[in-house]
Structure formats: structure tokens, C-alpha cells
Structure 1
Amino acid sequence: MPTPTDAASAGAAAHDLRHHGDAEVREGDLTDLAVNVRADTPPAWLKARIAASLDTLAAYPDGRAARAAVAERHGLPVERVLLTAGAAEAFVLLARALPVRRPVVVHPQFTEPEAALRDAGHEVGRVLLREEDGFRLDPADVPEDADLVVIGNPTNPTSVLHPADTITRLARPGRTLVVDEAFMDAVPGEPQALAGRTDVPGLVVLRSLTKTWGLAGLRIGYALAGPGTIGALERAQPLWPVSAPALTAAQACVGPAALAEATRAAHRVAADRAHLLAGLAEFEEVRAVEAAEGPFVLVRMARADAVRVRLRSLGFAVRRGDTFPGLGPEWLRLAVRDRATTGRFLQALDQALTLVGR
């Protein structure tokens, strides 16, 4: 059974919650499998739209059109939408704006929610999902008195897609249920999405436009929640928190043509992920989380840290897994890339495994 714990400062110190995949690619000319931003993005049409917005930089940003476009995309009133400087800003707003007493984060997952809660002075409880259970959630393992619960879907780094019905079982009166759907648009058809739902009490869904569209440097995302929660988060934001170019990108990325393109990309990612998993299965030393449904795969192997270093010497950057609570130094996360890149990576992995000793 997963273990709920009140993680004190010692627990946080055991994992570098501020380490993210971009740190793996800051130095050296490396093929990037460490960052989960889709390759070859942003597309030319989106760059053109963003470039055209530079003519408006003399004016203060006006988010009304972008907010309305996001609301229309999810079938919601604008009062249920808040635009943010990436999903990461939303985690900070939630930690600072809501009257939280007993927050719990379901791990392993993106570490920024816990880091933001700790920075805001909260003691954070953890529910650790286990490999032998397929890193799947049992709602009964979340403490009943938790008044804020954070879970990713699909979860970074496990790539597990939890059923929507399982997640909604976490909802209760007096509890805020935060579902990070930053990678949901990379899942064909988004079958387990909660974005757009208004029947789940306390639900907050976070979305990012940086992953599918290659906008990590622009910082754009949004929160979907009840009007009261949105109002509280908005009051915690500084004035003009989202730039005019980012607002332009938001409006462009939720239009019908962009959604159709994202769907096609999601199907390509699914096919490329299957190719990567098939290649990894050829290595006796490597065990992948085969339930992966996101644009990345979590793998386990002996001496993973040494393998990661060898892969760097062979030109490939991968994400270390030991900074995620619930994982250790034997884990690596691999971003899904096209078949040609995956083929070269698998050859490099074979060499790295040989060099560190099979």
C-alpha cells in the first residue's frame, strides 16, 4: 500500500525539488531527451502569430480575448478561467492564496507543487505510489483530513494516466482537488480529462501550453476552477501577469485548427512512444513503466546515474529520477522523440550499458 507521510524538512532535503529537466541540457551540444517539450516546436504559423504581437508591446496586456478563447475551448464561463505565466505560477498562487491547513501531494510527480507549498510555509504530506502497484492511485490512501490534494494526470514522471473516475473519488466538501493536466493534450482524445467539468466539488484543473507547442520560454498556462477559487488566485497575482505575446499564443493554441494539429501530434507521440518502449524491451537490464501514456517514459536500471553520465558523453541528455519523491537513483525519465532519434538513442544506451558494465 502507498505510504502517506507528513514529510518534514528532512524529507524535502532528501530530494532536490527544484531540479528540473532543463538543468540536464544547459551545457554541451546534446540531443535532448530530458525536457518534455515536443521537438520541432513552436510551429512556423505560431511563431508568426507571436512575432506579429510585438507591434502591441507599447500597450499593457489585455487578457480578455485569450481568456474568452480558453473558456470557449473548454465550454466554461470566463469566470472559471485564469491565465497564468505557465502552470508553475498557478502552483505558487494556490499555495499562497488558499487557506490551506493539511496539503497532500501524490508522488512521484512534478515537484513544483510541493516546493511552492513549502515556500509558502506549509507542512506537506505525501502519498507515495509504488512501482509494484503500477504507480496507480488508490483514493483510500489519501488522508481523509487533507484539505488540498495535488495529483498529475498523466503523471510526470511515471507517465501513468489515472482514470477520471478514480481522481474524482478524491473530491469532498471542504477540499481543494488540484489536477495537473499539463500533458493531457499529448494523450489522443484526452479520455480522462477533467478540464471543463463543473460537477466535481473543489476541482482545480491546471493546463500548460508550453509542452505541446514548445513555449517553455514564453510561459503560458491556465487554471480552471470555480469562480470563488479563481477570484482568490487572481487577487494573488501581480498586475498584468501574462505578457501580450503569451496572450496571443494562448488564443492561437486553443483555436479549432490548433486543436486539430495537437490531436495529430498526440497520435504521433503515441506511435513514437510505442517504438521507444519496444526498443527498451530488448534490454534485459532496463525495466520501463509500460502503462506510459504521456510524452515520456520512466525506466529503471542498475547504476542509472553512471549510465546517464555515459549517455552525456555519447551526446544524449536524459532526466535523472532521484529528485522525485518516491523514486531513487536507479530511475531515469526519457522524453519521447521521433523514430530516428530513438534509434540513435537506443544505440547509445547499448554502448552506455556496456561501458558501465552489464
Structure 2
Amino acid sequence: MRDSFLPFSKPSISEAAINEVTDSMRSGWLTTGPKLKKFEQMLAEYLHVPHALCMSSATAGLQLALMALDIQKGDEVITTPMTFAASLNVIEMVGATVKLVDVERDTYNIDVTKLEAAITKNTKAIMPVHFAGLPVDLDPIYALAKKYNLAVLEDAAHAIGAEYKGKKIGSFGDLQVFSFHPNKNMTTGEGGCLSTHSDKIAEQISLLRFHGMDREAWNRFGKDGSPHYKIIYPGFKYNMMDIQAAIGIHQLPFLDEFIEKRTALAKRYLEKLKDFEYLTLPKSPDYQHKHAWHLFAPTLNDKLAKISRDELMAKLKSMNIGCSVHYEATHLYPYYANKYGFKLGDFPNAEAIGKNVISLPLFPDMTISEQDDVLDALEQIFNTSITN
């Protein structure tokens, strides 16, 4: 057993990032300011998009995106039950109706073959989730969106740096929202980013994320700024601070390297566990893509293993191996079950995944020795040999 606890995720923070944060604190400019402006420019260049707008979280980005798309009471938004609750919560926040489509058992992504049947006259948007950094098959989704005049809001919280058919997620399509939470592929502590090609939507988001003011702090309190502003319409306090952007400035240049390291570790898991009958490994689709490998999340074959996922997690943690759950099927949470009458059996693939999925340790600075500790722990728990 390991002497120290191995977390399932750990951010890679450089000394340069720490120094950049220190510089912000010494400058006296802690909130939205010049570093955020620089970070947004870097993101726009990386994503090959004219507008990259940061905010306090990806959840905030999803909410503001729905508002900018004029999604409101009576409208339906289609998404997946295999996601973090925020994807559904933001639909509720704007007063719209959650419409769910089951996922593919192998990829955990929304089953695009079932999408059209879920579209009604009230449907206004589709919100696919790029689960674990694996791009959803977007061509059929955008084809349906064009056919039925729908917006597509991609929940790309897991997918910064991922690619679909040779193009970066965020570089094409309608709207994408990324997360910079500490367990994501790059971090700003907390925070998120929205990418869009639409000048109109970018302008709306800029206003909505900071009280509806026509000037943010950078425009008002700088040397050449004016303290006067107008409220265009009611907005929120969802701005990102310079302290956060200071971290991001030194995360983004290493993002592709982080993903390469994650990918190498994920491929090694896949190779080592390919004959391990107690776990079903995630699979990749046939279409061209670049997986960002935010998570390595197999599912437990609980009947064969004769223990539950939670029992497996407890055993791993007792051996100093961190793990997590991404995610339980959201339609079975009390709020959504009570409001919409969702029940067990409605979305069987999401339910099977949610009952048995387990996220194993995966992060850029994870060593081969640490990964071997995870594999050794699985061997000990199941009293079996893992392929060498």
C-alpha cells in the first residue's frame, strides 16, 4: 500500500504562474483587469475564434449563453442525463424545460441517433456534453439544428484542447463553454470561458457577466478610463479576476503538453486493463477526433466483481488511491425526478454508467510508478493479475 494518498486529480501549477499571481497582488489590481484581457486574447488565438469571454465558472457561462440565445419559459433544451448537474441546472435557471436523451453505453456521449425523436415544436436548443474530453459526433447535431432552426450550445467543460475532425472544439459551431476548475485539463482555480463567432452574442455576454454595465472595471478605473457607466439591462456578477487569469496565462501554453501526458497515461490504462474483466473500459468512436482525456472513467462489472462501485472506491481509498464518480445519472436526482417524473428505466445507458462508473487517478504530473500503484491496488482487491 502507498505511504501517501494519491489524488484522482491534481493541477500542475508552475512557479511562473505563482509569480504572476504574486505580481497581480503586488500591483493592487486583483479583479478584472489587464491580465484577464491578455488571457482572453490568448484563448481566442488558441481556439481560433474571434471571441473568448471568461467568467467566474463554466456554469455561469452556460447560463449566460442560454440567456443570450433568448431561451426562456416554455422553451425546451435537449441535453444528456450523463453530466454534472450544472448542465441541467442552468436550463432551470432560465425557466426553460429540460429534455433528456440517453447516452451511448461505450462513449458516455449523447446518442445522436435518438436526438431527432426528442425534438418538438418547443425545442429551441441542443446542449451536447463532450464527456471526459471526448468530442460528441457534432456533424449530425448541427445538421438537425439547421433542419429545425435550433441553436447548439456545446457543454465543453471537459474538452478544452479536444478536436473534432481536425478542428478544435470552440473553433467552429455556435457556442462552446469550457471549465477551468482545478481538476480540469487547465485551471484558473475556478472559472470558465465561452467561445463564439457571433459579435452580437459576445456583446450580450460581456454585458450580462458584469451587471449589464457598458464598462467593466478595466474601462472605468484605468488611467484613461471614465468612472461613468450605463446599465444596458440587468446582469450578474460573473466576472473573472486578474488573479485567476494570472494562473491561466501560464496554464494555456502548456495545455497541449498536459493533454499529451494525460493521453499517454490513458493509453497505458487501456493497454494494462484490456483483459481485466472486472472493468469495462471507455471506447472511442470511429470518426476523427482528438480526445482531451479529462477523465479516465471505466465502469465496474459489479455482478462479476460481486462488490458495488462504492465498495470498490472505499477499498481503493483505504489503500491511499483516490477516485471519484463522474457522474450519477442526473434524472434520478430528487429535484428532476419529482419535477419531470423521471424514473429508473427511462435512460438505461446513463443509469448503468451512473451506477458503476469510477474515475481513476489521471493528471499530467502522475508518474508511471503512481499509475502502477493504482493497477497493483486493483490486482490486490480482485486477487487477479493485470496484463503486463
TM-score w.r.t. length of structure 2: 0.69
Residue 136 of structure 1, CA deviation: 5.9
Give the corresponding residue for 2:177: 206
Q: Give the counterpart letter for 2:258 in structure 1.
A: A
SS in 2 for 1:104: strand
Q: 1:81 aligns with which of 52, 59, 77?
A: 52
1:323 equivalent to 2:296? Answer no
Deviation at 1:345, TM superposition (A): 0.9
What does residue 255 of structure 2 align with?
262
Q: Distance in 1 between matches of 2:274 and 2:12?
A: 29
Aligned to 1:291: 284
Q: Which residue of 2 aligns with 1:332?
A: 358
Distance (whole Å) between structure 2 residues aligned to residue 225 and residue 107 of structure 1: 28
Could you tell me how far apart the structure 1 residues matched to 2:274 and 2:313 are? 18
Which of 332, 341, 344 in structure 1 is aligned with 2:370?
341
| Contact 2:47 2:170 (8 Å CA) reproduced | yes
Q: Deviations over 1:54-113 (max 9, x none)?
A: 123357522444333333333443xx3322123222123234554321111134233311
Q: For residue 32 of structure 2, give the secondary structure of its aligned residue in structure 1.
A: coil
Contact 1:87 1:206 in 2 (8 A): yes
- The 1:228–1:276 alpha-carbon spacing in structure 2 relative to 1, beyond 3 Å, is same
Contact 1:139 1:167 in 2 (8 A): no
Q: Displacement of 1:335 after TM fit?
A: 4.0
What CA deviation, in whole Å up to 9, does each residue of 1:160-190 have, x standing for no partner? 4334434433433742211133333454898
Give yes or no for the alignment of 1:111 onto 2:82.
Answer: no
1:47 equivalent in structure 2: 18
Q: List, as ranges, runs of 4+ consecutive aligned residues in structure 1 with deviation greater than 6 Å.
A: none
Residues 114-133 of structure 1: pairs in structure 2 closer than 5 A = 114-131=88-105
Aligned residue in 2 for 1:176 = 151
Q: Does 1:150 align with 2:127?
A: yes
Cα distance between partner residues in 2 of 1:188 and 1:130: 19
Q: TM-score normalised to the size of structure 1?
A: 0.74
SS state of the match for residue 131, structure 1? coil
C-alpha RMSD of the superposition: 3.1
Q: In the alignment, residue 311 of structure 2 is paired with which amino acid? A: A
Q: Which residue of 1 aligns with 2:65?
A: 94
| Alignment of structure 1 residues 196-235 onto 2, 5 Å | 196-197=171-172, 200=173, 203-210=174-181, 211-215=184-188, 217-235=189-207
Q: Counterpart of 1:304?
A: 309
Greater Cα radius of gyration, structure 1 or 2: 2
Q: Is the 8 A contact 2:158 2:179 kept in 1?
A: yes
* Structure 1 residues 52 and 138, CA gap change in structure 2 (3 angstroms): same
1:127-165 deviations in Å (ceiling 9; x for gaps):
111316874632552433421211122x13xx5433443
Query: Any gaps of 5 or more consecutive residues in structure 1?
Result: 1-28
Report the count of equivalent residues: 308
Distance 1:230 1:350, change over 3 A: same
1:246-291 deviation per Cα after TM superposition (whole angstroms, max 9, x unaligned) = 233344445xxx1xx3222222221111111222224221111132
Distance change (3 Å), C-alpha of 1:206 and 1:58: closer
Question: Identity across aligned pairs (percent)?
Answer: 12
Q: 1:71 aligns with which of 31, 41, 44?
A: 44
| Counterpart Cα distance in 2 of 1:117 and 1:189 | 26
Alpha-carbon spacing, 1:246–1:267, altered in 2? closer, same or farther (3 Å):
same
The answer as to whether partners of 2:110 and 2:128 remain within 8 angstroms in 1 is no
